[in-house]
Amino acid sequence: MIDRVKEYLEQVEAFSSTDPQEIETFRVSYAGKKGILNDLFASFREVPVEEKKAFGQELNKLKEAVTTKVKELQTQSRAGASKMRISDPSRTAFPIDTGNRHPLAVVKNRIIDIFTQIGFSISEGPEIEDDWHNFTALNLPAHHPARDMQDTFFIQTDPDILLRTHTSSVQVRHMENNQPPIRTISPGRVFRNEAISSRAHCIFHQVEGLYIAKEVSFADLKQTLKYFTEALFGNSKIRLRPSYFPFTEPSAEVDIYWGLETETDYRITKGTGWLEIMGCGMVDPNVLQNCGIDPDEYSGFAFGMGIERIAMLLYQVSDIRLFFENDVRFLKQFKATL
């Protein structure tokens, strides 16, 4: 009897398979209700008394060997199956959710890309500014009425510390630390104490541009803007309308020709076909002087635009608040590699 058990033990140890069906058949033949193990336990009665102890020990060994074997083979077979599944090229891909960039980041990167291609560097500055960099150096001395053009969040008074109202503050910082030729753009977040509506928001984003060198003219400014609008909108039909900014003289507002093809075009251009996209001008000599650059030797131009406004035009988004609510159903619609 004991020899039979030992034979079974050898067979169990020698058994191997990766086929789940075969493993199951093996398990049932030993550990099933009518399996070998139960048969052997049933024959326990017939074993002579003096052999009972040894027989019992062998039988337990066999039972354990079966359990271990089955477990081991099942684990191997499962691992093999999942490996096969991964390498199966006909399998449907996992729905991998990669996420995407925020539309404002997409537009910002696009603008950066366009200007860096023609030699502009990127400069940044602090969001918490002092009065000098946000106002005074930009030809806006204390009590200048044009300070009211931008409602300001003050953090502290005397000396005034505030949240910058435009990224023009970065052009001051850049000129203070660099001599011409200067070619730089400054993207960043700005803050204004405005009522929140579908077109205005207290926090938004701007890109400021600055070019200072010898004999820079208004024609250079216009050509640069035409290059930019062509690259971004695929349309370089622009017009410059005389305007006023304290830091530029002369100053202009830039309109792009949007067309009047659809009803929306009529609505957003108020029936004119033209849309304002940014402010610009020749840097006021006072500003150059304030920043340590000799206005008799150098001249330059500057421009500034709102990223939200450009994104609203490019993507036909009618409400600025959508950019800040971060509803994934909105954000998911913007796929871009930039």
Residues that bind ligand DAH (CB under 6 A): 166, 168, 208, 245, 248, 279-281, 302-304
Least distance in Å: CB of 192 to ligand DAH?
Answer: 9
> CB-wise, 181 or 271, nearer to ligand DAH?
181
> CB-wise, 26 or 245, nearer to ligand DAH?
245
Least distance in Å: CB of 89 to ligand DAH?
Answer: 55
> CB-wise, 70 or 246, nearer to ligand DAH?
246
Least distance in Å: CB of 227 to ligand DAH?
Answer: 17
> CB-wise, 58 or 208, nearer to ligand DAH?
208
How do beta strands 274-283 and 121-122 pair? unpaired
Give dist(CA 282, CA 295) in Å, integer.
Answer: 12
Segment holding 256, helix H or strand E: strand 248-257
Instruction: State the number of CA atoms in the 13 A half-sphere of 217 facing the CB.
Output: 2
Least distance in Å: CB of 304 to ligand DAH?
Answer: 3
Least distance in Å: CB of 195 to ligand DAH?
Answer: 17
Least distance in Å: CB of 224 to ligand DAH?
Answer: 12
Least distance in Å: CB of 149 to ligand DAH?
Answer: 7
> CB-wise, 146 or 231, nearer to ligand DAH?
146
CB 283 within 8 A of CB 290: no
- Helix, strand, coil shares of the chain, percent, nearest 5, are 45, 20, 35
Give dist(CA 18, CA 309) in Å, integer.
Answer: 63
> CB-wise, 171 or 269, nearer to ligand DAH?
171
Give dist(CA 171, CA 74) in Å, integer.
Answer: 69
How do beta strands 182-191 and 121-122 pair? parallel
Residue nearest to ligand DAH as judged by C-beta position = 304
Give dist(CA 318, CA 268) in Å, integer.
Answer: 9
Least distance in Å: CB of 309 to ligand DAH?
Answer: 11
Residue partners of 200: CB distance under 8 A and separation at least 6 = 192, 194, 320
> CB-wise, 125 or 304, nearer to ligand DAH?
304
Give dist(CA 292, CA 314) in Å, integer.
Answer: 38
> CB-wise, 65 or 282, nearer to ligand DAH?
282
How do beta strands 248-257 and 238-245 pair? antiparallel
Segment holding 11, helix H or strand E: helix 2-14
Token pair listed for 60: 């337990």
Residue partners of 250: CB distance under 8 A and separation at least 6 = 218, 242, 281, 282
